[in-house]
Amino acid sequence: MNIRQLFLVSIFCFIAPALMAQIGGKYSYSFLEHPMSARIAALGGNVAAINDNDINMGFVNPSMINPGMDHAIGLNYVNHFAGLNYGSAQYANTFDKAGSFLGSLQFMNYGKFDYADQAGNQAGTFGASDFALTIGWGRQLDSSFSIGAAGKLIYSYYESYYSFGLAVDVAGTYQSKTGWTMSLVARNLGYQIKPYTSGSRGALPFNLQYTITKRLDHVPFRFSVIYDHIEKWDLTYDDPLNPAGGTDPITGEPKQQSAINKYADQFMRHIIIGGELYIGKNLILRGGYNYRRRAELKVEERTKLVGFSWGVGVRISKFKINYSRATHHLVGSPNYLSLTFDLDSFRK
């Protein structure tokens, strides 16, 4: 058994026992699912397989961590809804024998909340935040295959309730000689060591994802397709106010979907598509579509652009700046801002 086969077998053995514990139901540390990078958010999901030495790619897909990220720094900030904001900082370093490593600290701050008694009298404030410290490792096995893994130390507190957890990401990537890149990524395999309350230990937001990308040969465009949540087929959320099959305009009762429509709807909830259009060397336009987000969060009377995302990337001197917006709901769209640069570029 060669090292590639051993790695794939190890992934399967690690994933199999976790699937029964983590498929479906409620889970803890949902902040781990949110995209941090403006580039990745613009493509519609939270995983990518683009091998261009972007340190934010290595953060979501550890098999992308490579020597080309050596001494790179990534800073990300997201202005979310209602005072909620989150972000991360990454740094990468390569060692000759050990491989390439990426360290990251991410946070999510939910803002301040008011204490109040039964009569509504205020009695101070309290906060709530999530944090994760991640150390990732990647190695190129040959010209086609690379592997990677990342360990996460998680801390979360809401008022006087707090929790600790551990999680692991594992990934493998294949790059063909014709420019196709394919990755299989298992994210957030782990365990809640200390639950918020005794006897209520929750599962982590496990996700098994497959992504494929290709930059076209004769057009300055790269497309990306993600198959999300391989481990679970039915991702349908049954909202009684917004049924998947719509409502009868006369009776107001939910309409039943045909078998074909139901299958197509369930399949498309796994699919996320995105693309990048390269305009010269210093400008990139991006866009993405997340069917599941649109299906769950749209309002039938005003669907607008829910589920769509867009962004732009520019290079100014030694800095790469990315900005994006992702339409989650009619109430607003989060703003993503990322800055990346290479420390070595300042020494030359």
State the pLDDT confidence band at 266, using cuts at 50, 70 and 90: very high
Assess contact for 116 and 138: CB atoms under 8 A: no
Rounded to an integer, the average pLDDT of 204-224 is 95
**Considering the domain boundaries, does residue 167 fall inside one?**
yes
Per-range mean pLDDT, top range of 246-250, 259-263, 272-276, 326-330: 272-276
What's the pLDDT score for residue 248? 64
**Considering the domain boundaries, does residue 173 fall inside one?**
yes
**Considering the domain boundaries, does residue 247 fall inside one?**
no
**Considering the domain boundaries, does residue 156 fall inside one?**
yes
**Considering the domain boundaries, does residue 252 fall inside one?**
no
**Considering the domain boundaries, does residue 265 fall inside one?**
no
Query: CA angle 47-51-55, nearest 5°?
Result: 70
- φ/ψ (deg, to 5) at 78: -125, 125
**Considering the domain boundaries, does residue 200 fall inside one?**
yes
Task: Output the CA–CA distances (angstroms, integers) from residue 30 to 128, 171, 221, 285, 307, in the order listed.
Answer: 14, 20, 33, 29, 19
Assess contact for 97 and 121: CB atoms under 8 A: no
* Domain range for 120: 3-235+270-346
Take residue 40 and report the two structure tokens written for it. 């990745």
Condensed to tens digits (0 to 9), the pLDDT of residues 121-171 reads: 888 889 999 999 999 999 999 989 999 999 999 999 999 899 999 999 999
What's the pLDDT score for residue 94? 94
**Considering the domain boundaries, does residue 140 fall inside one?**
yes
State the pLDDT confidence band at 17, using cuts at 50, 70 and 90: very low
Is pLDDT of 175 > 50?
yes
Q: Any idea what the CATH number is for the domain that residue 196 is in?
A: 2.40.160.40
Instruction: Name the domain count of the chain.
Output: 1
